[in-house]
């Protein structure tokens, strides 16, 4: 599935959030974007982050080698091997703030 096809049926807040996340990821290094029926997977050698549309926001899933203690984490972190997957709600592009950009940079450095 192509990106334009994917976004043609999505909620209006999804594309601006995606574009903001991708603009930051472009500063970190190369990634591959894979739109699928449940959302968008962004990959390096493996799935690096997931963006999944919800009722009023986009759920951003990202892995770290540690567990974050932050009120921004909206689901219980899930351990999978060396990774701990965290989820953050992004309702608008402004939610991709400096703190989140740091976490994404850490995730990219650990797994990119």
Q: Please compute the mean of the pLDDT values over residues 80-87 and round it to a whole number.
A: 93
Domain span at residue 79 reads 3-111
pLDDT in tens, 64-75: 999 999 999 999
pLDDT in tens, 49-65: 999 999 999 999 999 99
For residues 65 and 79, give the distance between their C-alpha atoms in angstroms, rounded to a whole number.
Answer: 9
- Domain CATH number, residue 49: 3.30.1460
Q: Please compute the mean of the pLDDT values over residues 73-82 and round it to a whole number.
A: 92
Q: Name the band, by pLDDT with cuts 50, 70 and 90, for residue 47.
A: confident
Q: DSSP string covering 23-50, please?
A: HHHHHH---EEEEETTEEEEESSSEEEE
pTM here is 0.92
Q: Check residue 112 and give its pLDDT.
A: 63
* Domains contained in the chain, number: 1
Closest to 25 in 3D by CA, of 105, 100, 94: 105
């Amino acid at each position: 599935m192509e990106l334009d096809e994917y976004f043609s049926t999505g909620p209006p807040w999804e594309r601006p959030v995606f574009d903001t996340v991708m603009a930051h990821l472009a500063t970190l290094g190369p990634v591959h974007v894979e739109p699928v029926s449940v959302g968008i997977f962004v990959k390096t050698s493996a799935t690096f982050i997931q963006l999944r549309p919800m009722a009023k926001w986009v759920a951003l899933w990202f892995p770290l080698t540690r567990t974050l203690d932050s009120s921004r984490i909206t689901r219980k972190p899930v351990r999978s091997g060396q990774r701990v997957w965290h989820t953050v709600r992004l309702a608008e592009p402004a939610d991709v703030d400096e703190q989140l950009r740091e976490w994404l940079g850490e995730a990219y450095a650990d797994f990119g």
